[in-house]
Amino acid sequence: MPIRVSVRGTAVFTSILVLTLCVPGSAQLAHKGPAANIELSKTLRPYDVVSIKPNVSGDDEGGINIDDHGVFTVKNMPLFWVIEFAYDVKQDQIAGLTGPVNDAHFDITAKILPSGSGSSGLHNDSDMQAMVILLLQSRFHLKAHLEPRIKPVYDLVVAKGGPKLKLSQDTITGNGWNISGEGTKTVLTAKDARMPDLADALSDPAGRKVIDKTGLDGHADITLKWSDDIAAQQGDVDVISIFTAVEEQLGLKLVSSKGPVDTLVIDHVEMPTPD
């Protein structure tokens, strides 16, 4: 499964996020969280070839990509994005990442060499994602532990009047996610989206971890539009917050709450030696 996360914009890569997941067959990317990814990484072998270089271009574009051939690439990305991807956490679930390594951007290429059969030996998207943990441990000397902390969260619930989603129980034949910019609007589109994955996708724009409490089974095609930060700052009269968009367009609601959130506490990390 190819995974591509590309980012465009300023303000530490947070203004516009473009996330595309293309899944063949009936598979669908599952967000299992950091504990599952850490345990999985212990069963995997590391990348055979790794190159890491600092990126000092000052460009406002970057991306993360894993392809079907076992190649992991990072272009012009801060380390916290790589940690988010590897451990399946959000930025506010990372604590203790400070110093020069937090300010730098990196270009990374990592490869799995083909086995004698000509196969890279990779199994699935979860393996590819968890293997990045091994890269962080070996090259950035990253040491971290999980610590549950009570934090503000949002519960995703059904709004008054009921959901406006057309839910299906049919077998998923393929799915895709995309979050992109459209003028002053941010647009999320998803095919065959399950509610837990929708909650996860809403966590970044909502600014907190979102937990699915809709009780809705099945999957749906989704289009969701809300105003970006620039429109809000400029006083655009047509500003639609993510909260309003979720309620009016999906018939769901983000309700403020508190709950334990697995937090990845960074105990040690170093600048890697460029090669």
- Whether the CA torsion 228, 23, 170, 199 is positive or negative: it is negative
Place of tokens 């309003």: 244
Instruction: Show pLDDT as tens, one digit a residue, over the chain (275 residues).
Output: 344 554 443 233 333 333 333 333 323 345 678 999 999 999 999 999 999 999 999 887 888 888 777 789 999 999 999 999 999 888 889 999 999 999 999 999 999 887 655 455 555 777 888 999 999 999 999 999 999 999 999 999 999 999 999 999 888 766 667 777 777 788 999 988 999 989 988 988 898 889 999 999 999 999 999 987 666 566 666 789 999 999 999 999 999 999 889 999 999 999 998 77
What pLDDT score does 19 carry? 39
Residue 39's Cβ-side half-sphere holds a number of Cα atoms within 13 Å equal to 4
pLDDT confidence of residue 30 = 53
Supply the pTM of this predicted model.
0.69
Sequence-ordered strand ranges (E) for 159-239: 175-182, 185-194, 209-212, 219-227
Predicted pLDDT of residue 5: 53
Using a 10 angstrom Cβ sphere, with 0-12 exposed, 13-18 middle and 19 or more buried, the burial of residue 60 is middle
Q: How many CA atoms lie within 13 A of 268 on its CB side?
A: 5
pLDDT given at position 185? 83
User: What is the helix (H) or strand (E) element at residue 63, kind and residue range?
Assistant: strand 61-66
pLDDT of residue 126: 79
Chain Cα centroid distance, residue 111: 21
pLDDT of residue 184: 76
d(CA 68, CA 53): 23
